[in-house]
Structure 1
Amino acid sequence: MVKLRNYLTITFFSLFLSIALGQKEIMVSGTVTNDLNEPIPNIDVLLKTNDSLSLIVAFAITDDFGRFKIIHQTNRKSLLLVTSSLVHETLTKKIVIDKNALKIIENFKLKNRVEELEEVEIRAAPRVIVKNDTTIFNLEKLTDGTERVVEEILQKLPGVVIDSRGRLQFKGKNVSNVLLDGDNLFNGNYTVGTKRINASHIKGIEAIENFEENSLLQGLSENDIVALNLKFGKGVSLSGDAEASYANGNRFSLNTTVITVSKPLKAFGIASFNSIGNDLENSNFDATEFIDKLREQHSNGLDAPSYVGDNSNLFPENNSISNNEYFGSINLLPKISDTETLRLNIDALADRSLEQRSQLTLIGNGENDTIRIEERNSNLIKPNYFNSSIYFQKFASSSKSWTTTIKFSKLRNERQLLGIRNEQQQGENTIFNDVFVSNNSTYTLRIDDTKALKLEGLMAYSEKPEYLTLFSGIDFNTYSPILGESNNQSSFSRKQQVRLISNYYQKISENDKFNLKLKTTYFKNTLRSTLSNTEGNTAFENDIDYEVLVPEISAEYFLKLSNFSFRPSIKLKLFTYNYNDATLSRNHNNSKGLMDAYVRFNYHFDKRNSISTRLEYLNEIPNEENLYTNFILRSNRRLVTNELNFENLRSSSASIYYNYNNLIKDTNLSLGFRYNKNNNTYLITNTINSYVNVITNIGFNNSSVDRIWSFNFSKYINPLRSTIRFNSSYNNSNYVNIVNDSELRFNTMESLNTHLAIGTSFIGKFLFGNNLTYTKTDFSNFVDEGFSNQGIINKFNVTYVPKSNLRIVNNLNYTVPNLDNGSNNTLTLNSSILLENKKKTISYTLEGRNLLNQSFIGNVSNNDFSTTIIAESLFDRLILLTINFKY
């Protein structure tokens, strides 16, 4: 197997060899005027390849005198010089490159357009222009000059929604990348840039749907990817800031940022330290989002599973932490030539966070048999994260390209818990390590205007050693505590994966496309775990190797006419596995054929109204986290085991959505319903006492059902200068489980989440905003009604801008975690005063957090058999002075 894998790797990478040709540097310059010989500023002048692909290799923007200049290195004999303007006709000139005349002068005289552009909505002073899959925003009509960073511009763009952590949506779809003049610098971590790039450098913004980063596949592939493109002015855009903050309690923060954007180099760097809780809110950097995004990038089924502790949430809740955080990020994208692109991303983070939490958990409904668990804990969390990636792309010719991406990341997180449970001391120490490395390479061949071939190879390696020490031990015979003793749980998981993919794309006609994919996935999972009892002897251990080979073939057809599209897909795969448990001397191996299928249908009543449906049938292989049979101690309350079952998990779903998008009037409406049915799921059995919850996952041939309704509406009311956003979802789920000695419980969960946001600025220099969130969750079964909870969070803010350089902000937050019990309600007030100099290069901010000096913030969580009331400690009143210098 190793020899075969090495042979395939060598054969695959041999496709990427190419010979660099000598290049010449040319300079193309000239002027652009109108019929009256008047210069026309801000005209895009594009330099394109003279072939069927017509790729853009360089561009310039005319200055106030209509002049442009392009310097470019090329080995071509001819290129095309093209003007681009929404209000002028497009002109194209062919440039012949002579080695004896490398300075070329070309002048343009443009006429105004007299015909309407195809698929472009043009109104008097349009706020947006839509052409095909690209939406162009008129920033002069959408902004007022008070925006300091890019995120504040994006908040005002129709169709764009920003959540509390800076992630973007456009027309209800998640934005995957934010580009800088077409280049992807941030590699998914775009909030690092949108929260910091100076707004004054942005000359235009485009939203691109059906975005394809691989330019050779443009016009042949179909996807749901959305990207935003930030357009900068000509020359070098250099900006940055340096910020220092000091707060009572000897807390402070330091941040510095440097950003440069130009044609030959785009770069971004940041270094920061803070001890005032700025990693979760009230700052331009969100460490939780940073960690989550990095995890998402290297996971997707590639990383080894985790078996010990709760490592999904490395940071405690905001408002309740005391931290010392260091963060640094370097991002470089040098444009080596018009055929080569290099990107380097390096990020590092270290933190030390302390959280104080008390909670009361009630298990069971009866008054006599209710289990009551009271805890008061102190959690010390110390994560260290390093991530790096290198991306290289080369166009060997106008029809051939190859890319390679190398990623390496390492995470170490230590969590120490000390506290009391039911007046008994408890302690826990968890150490978690995660190492991930991968190499993903692709070769793309554009055969002609209608066909393309893409080959892709991926190799990934991940390992996770984890250690858990429970200072108040458990007797595994009676599941009761043993004072003065301890338990030790260690686990080591490793995943090695190789994936080879061949994609064939064909454009059959102007209306339909076809994609054929051959894919082979091989991975090997390893689990070694040992749980020691209170006497130091081994109580339970696992020694498992799980090897899987999945070859598959899939075909997808896409038909798009004027008002509807149709997209069916079918996938056939062979699931072959070999499972060996050395501890129990068990071996399982088998092969079976599986099929996945889906069909999507979209119908557009007109340019604004559409309806979409999707039918899906999936066969998933078993989750490797459920393929061990001896107990593993996950935390101080969870002891987990499984019953082996290699049956594939079958699921089906159907959805229908109605969408109304009117970007001109900034009105968006969507209604949706989704039905999910899992034909066979894991049955969870819980054996619970006041000290431990023993969980067993059993492969069970019983279905679970989810029914989800959603409603989203947003509207900008121009006369009132107000924005209204309303989002609501209702989920009705049916599932089964067993708790203690009960019979099989057929449960129903109903949850309602509603969010209403209103922002207005119609009263002079005042800006008002209110965000109201209401949640309600009900559990029931045939035996009893279970548990119910409803709560609200209301955030009200008032901003007063008496002068362009003075801003006063007040935020009042009111949290009611349980409307039936007002004892955990929390009211907090944060205020700030921002003063800038006339050039807006220096700002002074005086900020007060938790001015009402609340001690705790409350929360309630529940399931079908328990309710937990949580109180997290807040910072004391914090007075913060910040000085920011922009350059």
Structure 2
Amino acid sequence: MKNLLINKIILILFLTTTVYSQTIKGTITDSLGVVPFATVVIKDKNELIKQFTTSDEKGFYRLQLKKERDTLFLEVSTLIHEPRTVDLSKLKIVNNELMIDFFLKERITNLKEVIIKKAPPILQKKDTLEYNPNSFIDGSEKVVEDLLKKLPGIKVEDNGTIKYKGKEIKKMLLDGDDLFDANYTIGSKNINVDMIEKVQGIENYEENSLLKGIKDSDDVVLNLVLKKGKTDFSGNSTLGYGIEDRYYGTLSGVLVNKKIKAFGLSSFNNVGQNNTPYDFSSEIISLENIKNQNLLSKSLINQGNFNSLLDNNFHRLNNNFYTSLNTLNKVFKKSSFKVNLGFYQDELSRLNKSNSIIFLQNEIIEINETNSLNKRPKLFDANVHFSNKEKDNFHWEYISKINQSELIFNDISSNNNLIQNNNVTTNQFNTSHNINSTLKISEKKAIVTSLHFTKNKLPQSLKTNPPTAIDDLGLLLAANQQSEFQKQFLSINNSYFVSSKKLKYAIHTSYFDLRNSLFSNLLNQNNQSIGNEFRNENIYNIKNLNINPILVYNEKKYSFRIGLNAIYNDLDFNDASEKIKKEAYFIVPKVTAIYKLDTHSSLNYNYSFNQILPEEDRLFSGIIQTSYRDFISNEIRLEYLKTHSHSLSFNHHDFFNLTQFNVAITHDNRPNNYFQETIINQNITVSNQFFAKISNKDYGITVSSEKYIHSLRTTFQLNSSFNLSFDNNILNESDLREIKNKNFTANFTARRGINKKLVIENKTFYLNSNFKVEDEQLNNNFQMLTNQTKILFKSKKFINSNLVGNFISPNLKSNDNYFFLDYEINFTPKNKNLTYSLIGKNLTNNKTFTTVSASDFSTNKGSHNLIERYVMFKITFGF
């Protein structure tokens, strides 16, 4: 009986302990993020406080219940938020734990007198710089990209890449969420600027929440904060039609609520507008492809020259359709499922004419070419991203991407009066899969593991009719070039992070297996192989193991980052003529030092030594035809390309006084490199890349500044660069030629507002390029100048108009100058979501554009046709 009584007492004590040892925990947030130091209390039904605590710096709180919860209430409050209360008896316990997250609303207080002050143009919040768009817009902005171009410290490149304080942004977030991934130009080129409340530039951004405070990050992102009232569902639709059968249309919408965030877009036009992340009309690479450039198969066959010094809306003769859907769903409490879908098709046309004068040692060759180009690309891509963050110390994600494209290109060419019909077909398929996981061991330690697999192939064919004669007698004829690159990549990566107050340490280990293969064959008019010297069948395999420790030390005035990457490579190359196998061990150092002169200014120094293997497009020896007159080949050498890189920069950013100044000096020294040996005659050009241990050096200096002078009510911007580079090549069996190239550019902008009704902006661009061949005493110089003047006039509250004039002198040594005139007037009725626009483009009706360029061995005069003058009427409807 005594033992039975003791057992009952132990059981009662155990049950009592179980009941009263329940844990309540959660996170407190508001519209701006986490809420630190909020008061958390437990009260009984008589409002008596039984327990209390406060949230920590990350908004997290924890309480251990000391009393039965049936009659208890949990209340959270701060001085600036409305209090929130929950009845604990109505909540379900799981494993003796209650997870209760709170979202607090701002406290509304009635005041006797309210003084409204104008929001400052820029506000600093720790690592976040917040722009008030109303302080920078003039009414001509239509999409987010137009706004970003006017914000100090932000620069938009030609391919849509956005830089913040000189660094390329990693993401563009929408209300804090990454909706677009690498293709953020979908948002920047298409989201209506009227939806944006604020733009935030965030430094030291860490995407992985478990690594905040542990991992050292120098990434920068932009966050677009949407206006209140625009966050349920809103959108924009524009339809336009003009003379000469010109049309333009877009339909876009944004949906944001607690569960879903989405952006959808459909656009079509034939006025040169490109609202997509893709560019098939130039050599500009999309952001997605830049990010994965080393994992994609190479394109060898040329697909036409559609480049121009002019903006797309002057010369890009297109027939474009694009649709995109981007959604992010909160499927569980802390998990999300993201889908990005895109479909693109276009038809591009161009008429090019060129006259090239080739300067050789013993002769001068003149080449006249005319090309009637037509390109029809079609592309589909799909991205799926699932992120699981249900556990406080363990997160994982899965990312899958598929991209498939088809391109049909036709060129009716005249090569010194030989007319040929050239047809290129390119099919590309890429797939990529990533699995990433993060384990947070403690507040100062974490482990990240990732698995990455990609596979892609790129078959191409070029058919030429009549065939191109390769030899002088016309016995070897090139009629059908077949080429296919395939690439497969598998990597396993592990990273261990440790942090302390001033030190952060990481060690990265990775293993990857990269397999490349190339098959190519050049056939004659009878579909027979011309010969083994025009055929390739090779496999190139790299197995890599590396260990990369990184140490970061931060002080108030200075910081250092030191990395040593120990690398082991196992190389295997096989083709019909030879087999090469190599192993190598080496160390690659990288050093960064930053000294903060004051809160606005810093000095930065970077040094790195790289040893890079030649890529697969330099590892084939069989000759490949790339166009109706161009052929390429290589000398195969599995040698590491070495580069010593130095940079020293001074940066001053004082955004509150709207002042910034940056100057950077760079130097690259390459002890060895690949060089070009070129043979040119009237009919064909053959280029062979060869490896040599010849030193090349590059020097560069860039200066950028921006200043608002209040007395003049004017903002001034200057971006300039000077580059000096040394290179070598061989031309038509000459000796090795030493070439010095000097390149100077300057871009000056002045923008002034007058009486809030008139804004005048002027942009001037100057380019001076000079090539000099030392031994041949050949000096080739090229200069150009452009000037754009934009006048925005707001005659009434609901009417605004802008006039844009572009003066272009493509060659200052000649009188071939151009002037383009565009005009637009917009009318928005009072209390209406409609805007009516009348647009006139190329009103001076320029029909062709001629430029002159120079190289180390030639001068070229080229021209192309333009989109001729048109007038268009547009209606824009917001909903």
**TM-score bin, normalised by smaller chain:** 0.7 to 0.9
Question: How far apart, in 2, do the equivalents of 1:785 and 1:103 lie?
Answer: 74
Among 741, 749, 752, the residue aligned to 2:741: 749
Quote how far apart the aligned CAs of 1:279 are: 2.6
Partner of 2:67: none
Partner of 1:632: 624
Question: How far apart, in 2, do the equivalents of 1:245 and 1:445 lie?
Answer: 53
Q: Give the alignment of 1:292-441 within 5 angstroms.
A: 292-293=285-286, 295-296=288-289, 299-310=292-303, 318=312, 319-364=314-359, 369-441=363-435
Partner of 1:263: 258
Cα distance change of structure 1 residues 657 and 431 upon mapping to structure 2, 3 Å threshold: same
Among 512, 518, 522, the residue aligned to 1:527: 518
Q: Percent sequence identity over matched residues?
A: 26
Residue 801 of structure 1 aligns to which amino acid in structure 2? K
The answer on 1:231 being equivalent to 2:225 is yes
User: Does the aligned pair in 2 maintain the 1:198–1:239 contact within 8 Å?
Assistant: no
Q: Give the alignment of 1:597-616 within 5 angstroms.
A: 597-616=589-608
Question: How far apart, in 2, do the equivalents of 1:284 and 1:697 lie?
Answer: 32
Cα distance change of structure 1 residues 286 and 54 upon mapping to structure 2, 3 Å threshold: farther
Residue range with higher mean Cα deviation, 295-304 or 830-839: 295-304
Quote how far apart the aligned CAs of 1:205 are: 2.8
Cα distance change of structure 1 residues 222 and 82 upon mapping to structure 2, 3 Å threshold: farther
Aligned residues: 811
Instruction: Give 3-state SS (helix, strand or coil) of 2:754's partner.
Output: coil
Question: How far apart, in 1, do the equivalents of 2:810 and 2:416 lie?
Answer: 23
Instruction: Give 3-state SS (helix, strand or coil) of 2:638's partner.
Output: coil
Question: How far apart, in 2, do the equivalents of 1:763 and 1:124 lie?
Answer: 18
Partner of 2:489: 497
User: Structure 2 unaligned runs (5+)?
Assistant: 1-23, 41-52, 62-71, 93-99, 110-116
User: Does the aligned pair in 2 maintain the 1:669–1:714 contact within 8 Å?
Assistant: yes
Instruction: Give 3-state SS (helix, strand or coil) of 1:690's partner.
Output: coil
Question: How far apart, in 1, do the equivalents of 2:700 and 2:140 lie?
Answer: 40
Quote how far apart the aligned CAs of 1:108 are: 8.7
Instruction: Give 3-state SS (helix, strand or coil) of 1:629's partner.
Output: coil
User: Structure 1 unaligned runs (5+)?
Assistant: 1-23, 33-41, 59-76, 112-122
Residue range with higher mean Cα deviation, 513-522 or 93-102: 93-102
Among 528, 539, 548, the residue aligned to 1:545: 539
Question: How far apart, in 1, do the equivalents of 2:106 and 2:800 lie?
Answer: 47
Question: How far apart, in 2, do the equivalents of 1:453 and 1:511 lie?
Answer: 20
Q: Give the alignment of 1:578-589 within 5 angstroms.
A: 578-581=572-575, 583-584=576-577, 586-589=578-581
Partner of 2:8: none
Partner of 1:461: 455
Question: How far apart, in 2, do the equivalents of 1:537 and 1:107 lie?
Answer: 76
Q: What root-mean-square deviation, in Å, do the aligned CA atoms of Structure 1 and Structure 2 show? A: 3.5
Cα distance change of structure 1 residues 615 and 100 upon mapping to structure 2, 3 Å threshold: closer
Partner of 2:803: 810
Question: How far apart, in 2, do the equivalents of 1:315 and 1:402 lie?
Answer: 45
User: Does the aligned pair in 2 maintain the 1:523–1:547 contact within 8 Å?
Assistant: yes
Question: How far apart, in 2, do the equivalents of 1:723 and 1:303 lie?
Answer: 42
Cα distance change of structure 1 residues 92 and 608 upon mapping to structure 2, 3 Å threshold: farther
Residue range with higher mean Cα deviation, 737-746 or 255-264: 255-264
The answer on 1:735 being equivalent to 2:727 is yes
User: Does the aligned pair in 1 maintain the 2:594–2:602 contact within 8 Å?
Assistant: yes
Question: How far apart, in 1, do the equivalents of 2:411 and 2:192 lie?
Answer: 42
Question: How far apart, in 2, do the equivalents of 1:667 and 1:316 lie?
Answer: 30
Quote how far apart the aligned CAs of 1:657 are: 0.2
Instruction: Give 3-state SS (helix, strand or coil) of 1:183's partner.
Output: coil
TM-score normalised to the size of structure 1? 0.85
The answer on 1:703 being equivalent to 2:698 is no
Question: How far apart, in 1, do the equivalents of 2:856 and 2:284 lie?
Answer: 31
Question: How far apart, in 1, do the equivalents of 2:379 and 2:146 lie?
Answer: 29
Partner of 2:18: none
Among 267, 273, 293, the residue aligned to 1:272: 267
Residue 371 of structure 1 aligns to which amino acid in structure 2? I
Cα distance change of structure 1 residues 696 and 269 upon mapping to structure 2, 3 Å threshold: same
Quote how far apart the aligned CAs of 1:291 are: 8.4
Quote how far apart the aligned CAs of 1:189 are: 2.4
Partner of 1:774: 766
User: Does the aligned pair in 1 maintain the 2:478–2:522 contact within 8 Å?
Assistant: no
User: Does the aligned pair in 1 maintain the 2:432–2:453 contact within 8 Å?
Assistant: yes
Residue 386 of structure 1 aligns to which amino acid in structure 2? F
User: Does the aligned pair in 1 maintain the 2:260–2:329 contact within 8 Å?
Assistant: yes
Question: How far apart, in 2, do the equivalents of 1:487 and 1:80 lie?
Answer: 81
The answer on 1:647 being equivalent to 2:631 is no
Cα distance change of structure 1 residues 474 and 191 upon mapping to structure 2, 3 Å threshold: closer
The answer on 1:798 being equivalent to 2:801 is no
Quote how far apart the aligned CAs of 1:504 are: 0.6
Cα distance change of structure 1 residues 830 and 691 upon mapping to structure 2, 3 Å threshold: same
Among 508, 514, 523, the residue aligned to 2:505: 514
Partner of 1:157: 151
Instruction: Give 3-state SS (helix, strand or coil) of 1:249's partner.
Output: helix
Quote how far apart the aligned CAs of 1:420 are: 1.7
Cα distance change of structure 1 residues 836 and 443 upon mapping to structure 2, 3 Å threshold: same
Quote how far apart the aligned CAs of 1:191 are: 2.9
Quote how far apart the aligned CAs of 1:812 are: 1.0
Cα distance change of structure 1 residues 97 and 471 upon mapping to structure 2, 3 Å threshold: farther
1:682-730, Cα deviation, whole Å (9 max, x unpaired): 1210011112111111111111111011111111223433221101111
Question: How far apart, in 2, do the equivalents of 1:815 and 1:294 lie?
Answer: 29
Question: How far apart, in 1, do the equivalents of 2:282 and 2:179 lie?
Answer: 17
Question: How far apart, in 2, do the equivalents of 1:106 and 1:425 lie?
Answer: 73
User: Does the aligned pair in 2 maintain the 1:438–1:461 contact within 8 Å?
Assistant: yes
Among 546, 570, 575, the residue aligned to 1:576: 570
Cα distance change of structure 1 residues 788 and 769 upon mapping to structure 2, 3 Å threshold: same
Instruction: Give 3-state SS (helix, strand or coil) of 1:301's partner.
Output: helix
Residue range with higher mean Cα deviation, 229-238 or 212-221: 229-238
User: Does the aligned pair in 1 maintain the 2:664–2:701 contact within 8 Å?
Assistant: yes
Residue 193 of structure 1 aligns to which amino acid in structure 2? G
Quote how far apart the aligned CAs of 1:749 are: 0.6
Question: How far apart, in 2, do the equivalents of 1:551 and 1:92 lie?
Answer: 55
Instruction: Give 3-state SS (helix, strand or coil) of 2:617's partner.
Output: helix
Residue 674 of structure 1 aligns to which amino acid in structure 2? T
Q: Give the alignment of 1:99-118 within 5 angstroms.
A: 99-100=90-91
